[in-house]
Amino acid sequence: MAAQSTPFFTRFPSLLMKRNTTWLLAATAVAVPLVGLIAARALAARRLREDVQWLFAQAPQAAGQVYLETQLAGLPAPVQRYFRHVLPAGQPYLRGLRLRHTGQFKTDLKKDWVAITGEQYITADPPGFIWQGTTRQFVARDEFVAGRGRLDVRLFGALPIAGGTGLAYDQGELLRWLVEISWLPTALLPSKYIAWTAVDDHSAQLTLTHQGHSVSCLARFNERGEMAECEAPRQMDEATQQPWLVRFEQYRRWHGVLIPTVGEASWVINGQRQPYARFVVRELEYEPLRPF
């Protein structure tokens, strides 16, 4: 896979490793009045609602397409077991979702965990998502919208401290969509975007092609047929590429489909897994498609 920039979900720890944010925290606390911080967060919330409405407006209305087991013919064996396990026969295709999560995050692999909350909005066709996460110190926005990826991180929701756009971000954000689309399993069925390639009896290569971009990850399945891990090489920073691993746990039946409710992202450095993000889904809805 070509070198890719990673989004906030994977890239932000390396961005903060290169910054000493102590002086930013102190300077902002003095320079930005409380009313300004409140206004900045309110503006970010309003912009999020407007952008989510636009994102969902691009998703076509349901066309009556349903999942049938005959669609699984020719797919790798573990992929067939996965779909039979998570999707009931006749399951209507899902257009998108909205969810809220809690969790923990590390701004540096050597630092302590901090609490984080977030909300995410995803569309199946065309592939797209918007995620916004909040801690006591920063508000982060990560997205793939209209074929373009973007990262924006603001201290206290006001002062920009990290971000980027461009080809590398387009590819990186699209890979995030691919890994997290297990929350929307009908979008993983073979389509004009999705292809599966056999590897062995417990894993398969998953590839997404969209608007000239192609990203892939190795999906591993457990004995129950659940997708347990996705792994891909990622750019940890401008000079270093490392394996990036996302684990999924605690599957539960949600609105008729079986999806993971716990996710953990890690870098694998010198063969050692080093987690930096742990998210727990608290709310999830497939319809109606609208902002919280």
pLDDT value at residue 87: 98
pLDDT value at residue 126: 96
- With a CB cutoff of 8 Å and minimum separation 6, the contacts of 200 are none
Distance CA 97, CA 100 (A): 10
- With CA atoms as reference, report the closest residue to 76 among 195, 217, 226, 215: 195
pLDDT value at residue 25: 53
8-59+70-285 fold: outer membrane lipoprotein receptor (LolB), chain A (2.50.20)
pLDDT value at residue 161: 85
Task: Judge whether 129 and 154 are in contact, CB under 8 Å.
Answer: no
Average pLDDT over residues 267-279: 95
* pTM score: 0.87
Highest mean pLDDT among 15-29, 153-167, 192-206: 192-206
Distance CA 9, CA 116 (A): 12
At 10, the pLDDT band (50, 70, 90 cuts) reads: very low
% of the chain beyond a pLDDT of 70? 87
Question: Residue 248 is encoded by which pair of tokens?
Answer: 């999924």
Question: Residue 188 is encoded by which pair of tokens?
Answer: 């993983």
In 252-261, which positions are buried (b, 16+ CB within 10 angstroms) versus exposed (e)?
A: eebeebbbbb
pLDDT value at residue 73: 97
Distance CA 174, CA 148 (A): 9
Average pLDDT over residues 222-241: 87
* Across 89-93, 150-154, 233-237, least confident range: 233-237
At 55, the pLDDT band (50, 70, 90 cuts) reads: very high
pLDDT value at residue 6: 39
pLDDT value at residue 33: 65
Question: Residue 46 is encoded by which pair of tokens?
Answer: 């309003």
9 pLDDT above the threshold of 70? no
- Mean pLDDT (the chain) is 88
Task: Judge whether 247 and 82 are in contact, CB under 8 Å.
Answer: no
- pLDDT, one tens digit per residue, over 65-119 is 999 999 999 999 999 999 999 999 999 999 999 999 999 999 889 999 999 999 9
Question: Residue 116 is encoded by which pair of tokens?
Answer: 């984080």
* Across 108-112, 130-134, 228-232, least confident range: 108-112
Average pLDDT over residues 50-58: 97
Task: Judge whether 259 and 249 are in contact, CB under 8 Å.
Answer: no
Task: Judge whether 269 and 253 are in contact, CB under 8 Å.
Answer: no
158 pLDDT above the threshold of 70? yes
* Across 16-20, 120-124, 128-132, 178-182, least confident range: 16-20
Average pLDDT over residues 160-184: 91
Residue with more model confidence, 97 or 15: 97
% of the chain beyond a pLDDT of 90? 70
